[in-house]
Chain A
Amino acid sequence: MEISRWFKQITLAKVSIAPLVTFRVFFGAIMFVSILRFWLNGWIEIQFIQPILHFKYFGFAWLPEPSAWGYYALFALLAFSALGIALGAFYRWSAVAFFLAFTYIELIDVSYYLNHYYFVSLVALIMIFLPAHKSLSVDVWRGKTIKTLKVNALSINILKFQLALVYVFAGIAKLNADWLFEAMPLAIWLPAQDQLPFVGSLFQYKATAYAFSWAGAIYDLTIPFFLLFGRTRWMACAAVVVFHLLTWSLFQIGMFPFIMMGATLIFFSADFHSWLQRPFVGLNKTSTLDETSALNGFKWVHLPVAAFMLFQLTFPFRHLLYEGNMFWHEQGYRFGWRVMLMEKAGYAQFKIEDKDGRTMEVRNADFLTPVQEKMMSTQPDLMIQYAHFLKAYYQSEGISAEGVYASVYVTMNGQSSRLFIDSKVNLAEQIDGWKAKPWILAHKS
Chain B
Amino acid sequence: MKLCRVFSFFLITAVLAMVSCKERPVGPEPETFDKEAMLLQIGGSVIQPAYADWKAKTEALRTAYVGFDVEKSEENFLNLREKFLAAYEAWQACSVFELGPAADQNLRLLMNTFPTDTAQMEANLASGSYDLGAAANSDARGFPAIDYLLFGRGNSAETAADLSSAANFSLRYLDDNIQIMFNGANVVSEDWNDYLTEFKTNTASSVGSPISVLVNEINFEFELFKNARIGIPLGKKTLGVTQVAKLEAYYSDDSKTMALANLSGIKSAFTGGTGLGLDDYLDAIDAQYNGQKLSEAIIDGFEKIETELANVSSLRTAIESNPSSLEPTYHAIEQLVVLLKTDLPSQLGVQITYQDNDGD
- Chain A residues in contact with chain B, CB under 8 A? 41, 43, 46-47, 112, 114-116, 183, 188-189, 191-195, 204-208, 210-211, 214-215, 218, 222, 226, 229, 231-232, 235-236, 251-256, 339-340, 343-347, 349, 354, 358-361, 363, 365, 369-371, 374, 399, 409-411, 414, 416-417
On chain B, the number of residues with a Cβ less than 8 Å from chain A's Cβ atoms is: 64
Residue on B nearest A116 in the bound complex, by CB? B360
Among A195, A256, A370, A409, the residue within 8 A (CB) of B35 is A195
- Chain B residues positioned under 8 Å from A343 (CB to CB): 346, 349
Given contacts A229-B3, A409-B338, contact A215 B14 (CB under 8 A): yes
- Chain B residues positioned under 8 Å from A183 (CB to CB): 26
Give complex CA distance A344, B343 in Å: 9
Given contacts A114-B360, A345-B352, contact A358 B240 (CB under 8 A): yes
- Chain A residues positioned under 8 Å from B35 (CB to CB): 195
B360 touches A409 (CB 8 A): no
Count of chain A to chain B residue pairs whose CB atoms are closer than 8 Å in the complex: 164
Q: Nearest 4 A-B pairs (CB), nearest first?
A: A192-B349, A211-B18, A254-B358, A210-B21
- Chain B residues in contact with chain A, CB under 8 A? 1-4, 6-7, 10, 13-15, 17-18, 21-22, 26-27, 29-30, 32-33, 35, 202-207, 223, 227, 231, 235-240, 285, 287-290, 334, 337-339, 341-343, 345-360
Give complex CA distance A229, B1 in Å: 11
B346 touches A188 (CB 8 A): yes
B349 touches A191 (CB 8 A): yes
Among B337, B343, B351, the residue within 8 A (CB) of A374 is B351
A426 to chain B, nearest CB (A): 17
A253 touches B343 (CB 8 A): no
Give complex CA distance A370, B216 in Å: 11
Given contacts A252-B206, A359-B239, A370-B353, contact A188 B347 (CB under 8 A): yes
A46 touches B355 (CB 8 A): yes
Give complex CA distance A365, B355 in Å: 13
Give complex CA distance A76, B7 in Å: 44
Query: What are some 13 contacts across the A-B interface (CB < 8 A)?
Result: A114-B360, A215-B18, A222-B10, A231-B1, A231-B2, A231-B4, A252-B358, A254-B358, A346-B342, A358-B239, A371-B355, A374-B353, A417-B338
Give complex CA distance A231, B7 in Å: 10
Residue on A nearest B358 in the bound complex, by CB? A254
Among A210, A229, A253, A417, the residue within 8 A (CB) of B358 is A253
Given contacts A207-B26, A410-B342, contact A226 B7 (CB under 8 A): yes
A360 touches B360 (CB 8 A): no
- Chain B residues positioned under 8 Å from A344 (CB to CB): 346
- Chain B residues positioned under 8 Å from A215 (CB to CB): 14, 17-18
A7 to chain B, nearest CB (A): 23
Give complex CA distance A208, B21 in Å: 9
- Chain A residues positioned under 8 Å from B18 (CB to CB): 207-208, 210-211, 214-215
Give complex CA distance A43, B358 in Å: 10
- Chain A residues positioned under 8 Å from B22 (CB to CB): 205, 207
Given contacts A218-B13, A417-B338, contact A411 B343 (CB under 8 A): yes
- Chain B residues positioned under 8 Å from A210 (CB to CB): 17-18, 21, 26
- Chain A residues positioned under 8 Å from B15 (CB to CB): 211
